[in-house]
Amino acid sequence: MTDSTPTSAADREIVSSRVFDVPRERLLKAWRDPAQLAAWWGPKGFTNTFHEFDLRPGGVWRFVMHGPDGVDYPNESVFLEVVEPERIVFQHVSGPRFQMTVTFTEEAGGTRLEWRMLFESAAECDKVRAVCVEANEQNFDRLQAQLAKLTP
């Protein structure tokens, strides 16, 4: 007998968010500009080599993350939605597979950035949850540092 109990989206999702003390347009620019995005994307100690970044529905984002341990991590995603200035949605098609919904919400004095990583199954989500939660926080730290370098 198999268990056919459906899992909820919460079982398959990792949500990370932070309020940045910058206007929404400035935060969006850090996403739109591949040079800026490459400078902050990924956990602490990682660098990136972007091969393609086409921020439009159907556009492809191909890059390699270079880990501090010398390991290279090829990544490929396809943009599903780009609704500026509110939302970017992409499907991460290389492993692990997930859909990322990025929202930019104006809040008093800044902008809330929220990432919702939706995996195909709870098991897939559980495999990466422990690493992703901390990695996303490090990613936000790197974004904060990148934003501080930019002139308003």
Residues 39, 16: Cα–Cα separation, whole Å: 20
Q: What's the average model confidence in pLDDT over 51-66?
A: 98
- Dihedral of alpha carbons 136, 142, 148, 149, sign: negative
Q: pLDDT class for 109, splitting at 50, 70, 90?
A: confident
The alpha-helical segments, DSSP class H, found in the chain are 24-32, 34-40, 122-149
Q: What's the average model confidence in pLDDT over 121-130?
A: 94
Q: pLDDT class for 83, splitting at 50, 70, 90?
A: very high
Whether the predicted pLDDT of 4 surpasses 90 = no
pLDDT per residue as tens digits for the range 14-36: 999 999 999 999 999 999 999 99
pLDDT at residue number 10: 84
The DSSP symbol for 70 reads: S
**Amino acid present at 44:** K
Domain 14-149 has CATH 3.30.530.20: yes
Do residues 119 and 7 make contact, with C-beta atoms less than 8 angstroms apart?
no
Residues β-bridged to residue 111: 20, 106
Whether the predicted pLDDT of 138 surpasses 60 = yes
**Amino acid present at 123:** A
Q: What's the average model confidence in pLDDT over 118-126?
A: 96
Whether the predicted pLDDT of 6 surpasses 60 = no
- CA 117 from centroid of its chain's CA atoms: 8
